[in-house]
Structure 1
Amino acid sequence: MGDSVVVHLIRHEKTNANLKGKYIGWTDESINAKELYFNVPLCPKLVYGSDLKRCKETAHLYFPGAIYLPEENFRELNFGDFEMKTYEELKRSSIYRQWIDDPQKVPPPNGESYEDFLHRVVRTFQQIISQNADYTFVVHGGVIRVLLSIFGPMEKSFQQILVSHRTIYSLEWPDYSQVKEGKRCKLLSVEPIMAKESL
C-alpha cells in the first residue's frame, strides 16, 4: 500500500431489472437491498463510480463515510433497442443473435458500439489512476468486464469474463505508470462481500 497501485472493482447491488434478467444500461433504476448491513473489508475515503443511482446507492450502503465521485463515462453499455428487455423477448431477433455472437463487432440498434464503450471506460480509468495508491470503484458489470479484459493478469475476452454482485475484484500493479501504459496487473484477487439483515 502506498508503493504500488491497488484497484478494487465492485459491481452495484441488484435492481429489479437485474432480478428479471433485463438488459439495463443507462436506465436509472434504484437498488433493492437498502435494508441490509454489509461487511465490506475496505475503508476508502474516496469512491469512484458511475453517475447512475444503482452505483451511487451501493457506494453509500457499502461506504457510508466516503465521498462519492460520480462519472458519466463509467456508465454501463448503452443497449439501445435492447434496453430493459430480456433474452426471451429478444431471442427471435436476428440482429440480437448477431450481437450475442459477436458483441465486439455488432452494436445494439440505436445503442453503443463495444469500441466506444471500451474507449470511454479505459480512458477515464487511466485518467483517475494518477499515483501509487488504493482506488475503489463501484461500477457496472460491463465496466468491470472491460477493465478485467484489458488489465487482468491473464488474457481473456470480454465474453469470457463473468462478474458477480457482492464481490471485490482487486488488481495490483507495481507502479501507476504501468496502468497508463495499458499493462496487465501482476495480481488479481477476488473476495466476497457478506451481508446480513439490519438489527
Structure 2
Amino acid sequence: MGGSSVIVHLIRHEKTKANLERKYIGWTDESIVYDKVNCIVPIHTDVVYGSDLKRCLETARLYFPNAVFHPFFELRELNFGDFEMKTYEDLKDDERYRQWIDVPQKVTPPNGEAFTAFQKRVLDCFQQIVEHPGIYVFVVHGGVIRLILSKFCEEKNFQEVVVQHRNIYTLFWDDIESLKGGEVCNRLSVAPIMVNENL
C-alpha cells in the first residue's frame, strides 16, 4: 500500500430478527440474532467505525473482539418513518409506499427521513472519518453501504446495489486527495466472511 493510498472495508451488521422477517429496520435498536457464531474475518484491525445502534456494535465485537469501536449517530440507516418494522406484504397496497420504492431518492416515507438528508449525514461523516491515508473498517447498515458504493464506484446505482450480510466490500483509492475530491475508487472487491462450523 502506497503512502497516500486509502483502503476502506465496509461490512454490513449481522442479521436481526427484523432482517429475518424481511422488515424495514432503520432506527429501531434491535440486537443481532447470531451473536455466538465463530466467524472467520479475513481482515484485522484495532479500530472499527460504525453506527451507534446495537446491531453494529454487537457485530463489531463479534468480528473484531479486540478492536476499539467508535459509534456515530450519522452512520445510522435511513429512518423509514411509518414504514419502519413493516414488510412488503404489510405495505404493498399503500400508494405512498409504492411511490417511495419507485423513486426513494425523491419520495420521503411518511414521518421518515428524506433521502437527501440521509445522503448528506452519511457522506459528510464518512469523509470526516476518512481524512488521512490508511486502512479503515466500518460496520454499518445495508443502506449506508449502498449509498457509499453508489457514490464512489463507477456504474453503481443506489437502487440496483445489493449488499449482503457476511461480505466485506473493499474500496481502494491510490491517493487520499482523490477520495476527498469525491472521485470514484480505483478498485472494488468483495470477500466473504466465513463461519467456522467446527467450533
In the TM superposition, what is the alpha-carbon distance from 1:157 to its structure 2 partner? 1.5
Partner Cα distance (1:198, 1:130) in 2: 40
Q: Aligned letter for 2:169?
A: Y
Cα distance per residue 1:111-139 (max 9 Å; x no partner): 00111101110000000111110000000
1:1-199 aligned at under 5 Å gives the runs 1=1, 3=3, 4-152=5-153, 154-197=154-197, 199=199
- Structure 2 unpaired stretches of 5+: none
2:61 match: secondary structure: helix
Partner Cα distance (1:71, 1:94) in 2: 34
Partner Cα distance (1:2, 1:90) in 2: 49
Structure 1 ranges of 4+ moved more than 4 A? none
Partner Cα distance (2:7, 2:119) in 1: 21
- Structure 1 unpaired stretches of 5+: none
Cα distance per residue 1:63-89 (max 9 Å; x no partner): 001000000000000000000000000
| Length-normalised TM-score, structure 1 | 0.97
Partner Cα distance (2:32, 2:43) in 1: 21
In the TM superposition, what is the alpha-carbon distance from 1:35 to its structure 2 partner? 1.4
Partner Cα distance (1:66, 1:198) in 2: 24
Report % sequence identity.
Answer: 61
In the TM superposition, what is the alpha-carbon distance from 1:155 to its structure 2 partner? 2.4
Let me know the Cα RMSD of the aligned residues. 0.9
Cα distance per residue 1:4-31 (max 9 Å; x no partner): 1000000000000000000000000000
Cα distance per residue 1:96-118 (max 9 Å; x no partner): 00001000000100000111101
Partner Cα distance (1:145, 1:135) in 2: 17
Q: Aligned letter for 1:187?
A: R
Partner Cα distance (1:31, 1:147) in 2: 23
Partner Cα distance (2:182, 2:28) in 1: 30
In the TM superposition, what is the alpha-carbon distance from 1:156 to its structure 2 partner? 2.0
Cα distance per residue 1:43-79 (max 9 Å; x no partner): 1110000000000000000000100000000000000
Q: Is the CA contact 2:2–2:174 (under 8 Å) kept in the aligned structure 1?
A: no
Partner Cα distance (1:135, 1:94) in 2: 41
Size of the aligned set, in residue pairs, is 198
In the TM superposition, what is the alpha-carbon distance from 1:170 to its structure 2 partner? 0.3
Partner Cα distance (2:19, 2:162) in 1: 15
